[in-house]
Structure 1
Amino acid sequence: MKKYFTTPIGRLRLLAFLEGISLLVLVFIAAPLKHYFGYQTLSKNLGPIHGALFLLFVFNALRVGIEQQWKFRETTWKVLVACFVPFGTFYIDYKILRKIDKR
């Protein structure tokens, strides 16, 4: 657990998890509650939190990509696109980030 706070890739993995969870809650819980039941509180509160996590993830992914000298066409673009797709950050963590973190 300590590696998630001490290494740049560990922090990126943690942000990927948090951003992925916030996107899933926003898309599959908050949006339906807002549009079908008129309950807007969750989307109003979670929207800015997800936005901040999204920006932190993107900036951290770019920073780690530069530090690790990732080739943009091979790795960086995949990590960046993953934050737009539900479950994408979990897939990227499993396929790319976890393997790099174990080195």
Structure 2
Amino acid sequence: MNSLKLFRFTSISEGISLLLLFGIAMPLKYIFEKPLLVEIVGMAHGILFIAYVLFTCVFKFKENWKIKDFLIIIFSSLVPFGTFYVDKKYLAKIKA
């Protein structure tokens, strides 16, 4: 698997993990007092978030992204559905 495919996979996985964390795990923790899912999904999300940020830093130099684009890509990981936008707008257009 080349680095672009791995970055795209990480991007989508990070977005899904954020949605699972906020949409399912957190409500289960606070409404039904079931914290186990937050521990599992939270750990996976943390690892994917770090990988996403590292990939973004590597590709900033590899693709010579402008600072504005780089910041949009980095901060999109903090917004639900943000990484899906990044995948479609930025990553899908990169030539492998």
TM-score, normalised relative to structure 1:
0.87
Q: Which 4+ stretches in 1 moved above 6 angstroms?
A: none
Aligned-residue sequence identity (percent) comes to 36
Mapping for residues 1-103 of structure 1, pairs under 5 Å? 5-6=1-2, 8-73=3-68, 75-101=69-95
Structure 1 residue 10, shift from structure 2 partner: 2.1
Q: Which runs of 5+ in 2 are unaligned?
A: none
How many residues align? The count is 96
Give, as a single letter, the amino acid of the residue that structure 1 aligns with 2:85: Y
Provide the aligned C-alpha RMSD in A. Answer: 1.2
Alignment check: 8 A CA contact 1:54 1:83 kept? yes
Structure 1 residue 47, shift from structure 2 partner: 0.9
CA distance 1:101–1:42, change in 2 (3 Å): farther
Q: Quote the Cα distance in structure 1 between the aligned partners of 2:61 and 2:4.
A: 12
Structure 1 residues 11-62: Cα deviation after superposition (integer angstroms, max 9, x where no partner)? 2111101100110000000000001000111001111111011000001101
Structure 1 residue 92, shift from structure 2 partner: 1.1
TM-score, normalised relative to structure 2:
0.93
Alignment check: 8 A CA contact 1:10 1:101 kept? no
